[in-house]
Amino acid sequence: MTENTSPAPGAAFADGTADEPMLRVEDLHHSYGAGAATVHALRGVSFVVRRGELVALKGRSGSGKTTLLHLIGGLDSPRSGRVVVGRTDLSALSGSELLELRRDRIGFVFQSFGLIPILTAAENVGVPLRLRRAEPREREERVALLLALVGLAGHETQRPAELSGGQQQRVAIARALANRPALLLADEPTGQLDAATGLAVMELLRAVVRSEGVTALVATHDPHLLGLADRVLELSDGVVVEDEARTVRDPGSR
């Protein structure tokens, strides 16, 4: 342990050992509204994700993908069932602990990028590091490394409006990785991009899952992107109807 480094992000949350799953979803049920207007968005979803796995979540619009990602990321609480990230049962956390888990252990990527318009690319990536009060030097080094990782070295001082959609999503991916999350959750990250840019962004996600050792769950309804996942889970009407392991083509050996 060196003196000048900040505590590891989310050190309070035990990830468990390498052979334990990174994510366990147990019989999740969720609904919106009440009475006759109740919508049953999830109707008993269970699965386990290994460390380092890239899981694609497919299913039509309305099948429950966003709801599932929100429950896994602690943005909403299920009506019943459990989400366990590492060794942390989300239902056992207080509001402030959940906030801390979301900040330090989970990275989110949204279809709409979600960058802060007045901040530069580097400042956007640095936001999660500032939130956990990382040392400025550590923050600057991590931001530079992440921007290089997503292919945006040299774009540090550009604001979102000065970047293409694909570049903005790369910034958002770098930001999501800032605190070395245990879990990366992406909700249709290529939904606003053209096909070629979307494929490049998905290939980037594939590469960072390997290089950063993160575990990722990516909702997409683009069939071309499913081939890059280790595994495809299909949701239909709030239940898992297919769970299929893929043999992933190694991008290094084409």
Residue numbers at the binding site for Mg ion (CB under 5 A): 65-66
| CB-based burial, 40-51: b 16+ in 10 Å, e otherwise | bbbeebebebeb
Q: Which two tokens stand for residue 27?
A: 């019989």
Binding status of residue 63 toward ligand ADP by CB under 6 A: yes
Q: How far apart are CA 216 and CA 176, in angstroms?
A: 11
63 binds, among ligand ADP, Mg ion, none (CB under 5 to 8 A by kind): ligand ADP
Amino acid at 75: L
- Binding ligand ADP (rule: CB under 6 A), the pick from 21, 62, 81, 114 is 62
Position closest to Mg ion via CB = 66
Q: State the minimum distance, in angstroms, from the CB of residue 248 to ligand ADP.
A: 24
Q: State the minimum distance, in angstroms, from the CB of residue 183 to Mg ion.
A: 18
Residues 6+ apart with CB under 8 A from 248: 54, 206, 227, 228, 229, 230
Name the segment binding ligand ADP (CB under 6 A); options: 62-70, 134-142, 176-184, 189-197.
Answer: 62-70
Binding status of residue 36 toward ligand ADP by CB under 6 A: no
Q: State the minimum distance, in angstroms, from the CB of residue 41 to ligand ADP.
A: 4
Q: How far apart are CA 193 and CA 172, in angstroms?
A: 14
73 binds, among ligand ADP, Mg ion, none (CB under 5 to 8 A by kind): none
Binding status of residue 67 toward ligand ADP by CB under 6 A: yes
215 binds, among ligand ADP, Mg ion, none (CB under 5 to 8 A by kind): none
Give the C-alpha distances (Å, rounded to integers) separating 5 from 11, 68, 106, 134. Answer: 13, 35, 21, 8
Q: How far apart are CA 34 and CA 30, in angstroms?
A: 12
Q: How far apart are CA 227 and CA 180, in angstroms?
A: 25
Name the segment binding ligand ADP (CB under 6 A); options: 33-41, 48-56, 127-135, 159-167.
Answer: 33-41
Q: How far apart are CA 181 and CA 216, in angstroms?
A: 10
Name the segment binding ligand ADP (CB under 6 A); options: 8-16, 55-63, 102-110, 135-143.
Answer: 55-63
Name the segment binding ligand ADP (CB under 6 A); options: 60-68, 92-100, 119-127, 201-209.
Answer: 60-68
Closest to 212 measured CA to CA, from 164, 179, 241, 236: 179
Binding site for ligand ADP (CB under 6 A): 32-33, 39, 41, 59, 61-67
